[in-house]
Amino acid sequence: MRRKFIAGNWKMNLSRAESVALASGLAQQLGDATDVDVAVCPPSVYLDAVHQAISGSHIALGAQNMYHEAAGAYTGEISASMLQDVGCAYVILGHSERRHVLGETDAAINLKVQAALAAGLLPIVCVGEKLEEREAGQTASVVKTQFEGSLAGLTAEQMQQTVIAYEPVWAIGTGKVASPAQAEAVHADLRKLLETSYNSEVAAAVRIQYGGSVKPSNAAELLGQPNIDGALVGGASLKVEDFMGIISGARA
Ligand code: PEP
């Protein structure tokens, strides 16, 4: 049985004080509940402060990106061990904004995924098609290429530690959400890919989140689909009430 996993991607939003207030508010509201896994991914400069704010709670900390090298002359970059040092358990890799705004390729993402796993960080690896690709009927092939490229070379054990996030680019931050049927179809394809690339045990174990305009009002229906195991949430993760509403949707 895959436990639902709700992660908040705060992107480049909030001040330090706002980040701490949001993290503290969530920790308070979540209390002792452990039926849903929850993580927050603040901007890297606030990871330490947020880590302190959630200490003693069941909320895990995640980063939004990292570099694949362990250390050295890579100005502006952050390594997996540095993220662990400030309390991160997870790292989002290959988010569509990094793919399409910052030019990250599947090969670059794969290096990061390998480095994260080698260091003991759990990657949340994003895949998803652009609107023109969906309209051209290319969704399945785009997602397959990203899956094969970003996750190349992972052992079965490493794959089981990895979370996949299906995030159709046209649904991110746009208010346009994929219908539960549209999302479920891609999640089912991804699970088949896991089965053919690995085996049925791996396919049954890996959690696949949906991301793209998830909010309290649509969370329960999306999260009720058989192959949707959680959500990667952008905009609605910036308010305690909205994020908690999505967590409630995971329990429905
Ligand atoms: C995201 O950035 O991962 C995301 C899904 O954003 P939003 O929820 O705002 O669409």
Asked if 119 and 168 touch (Cβ cutoff 8 Å), the reply is: no
**Which run of H or of E encompasses 206?**
none
Per-residue pLDDT reduced to its tens digit, 204-237:
999 999 999 999 999 999 999 999 999 999 999 9
- Confidence label for 1 from pLDDT (cuts 50, 70 and 90): confident
* pLDDT value, residue 2: 97
**Token digits of residue 209:** 């989140």
Asked if 190 and 208 touch (Cβ cutoff 8 Å), the reply is: yes
Contacts of 196 (CB under 8 A, 6+ apart): none
Give the total residue count for the chain.
252
Residue 252 clears pLDDT 90, i.e. is over it: no
Which 8-state DSSP code applies to residue 113?
Answer: H
**Token digits of residue 49:** 């402060």
CA 174 vs CA 107, 171, 231: distances in Å:
28, 6, 16
Total domain count, the chain: 1
Q: Which atom number of ligand 1 is nearest to the Cα of residue 175?
A: 10
Identify the CATH number of the domain in which residue 147 sits. Answer: 3.20.20.70
Average pLDDT over the chain, rounded to an integer: 97
CA 209 vs CA 3, 166, 186, 188, 237: distances in Å:
11, 6, 11, 12, 15
Per-residue pLDDT reduced to its tens digit, 193-208:
999 999 999 999 999 9
Q: Which residues line ligand 1 (CB under 6 A)?
A: 9, 167, 172-173, 211-214, 232-236
Instruction: Choose which residue among 6, 12, 167, 217 to substitute to test ligand 1 binding: the one with the highest number of ligand atoms within 8 A of its C-beta.
Output: 167
Residue nearest to atom 7 of ligand 1 (CA): 234
Residue 188 clears pLDDT 90, i.e. is over it: yes
DSSP 62-98: EES---SSSSSS-TT---HHHHHHTTEEEEEES-HHH
Per-residue pLDDT reduced to its tens digit, 62-105:
999 999 999 999 999 999 999 999 999 999 999 999 999 999 99
Residue 175 clears pLDDT 90, i.e. is over it: no
Residue numbers of the domain that contains 170: 5-251
- Note if 69 is an active site residue: no
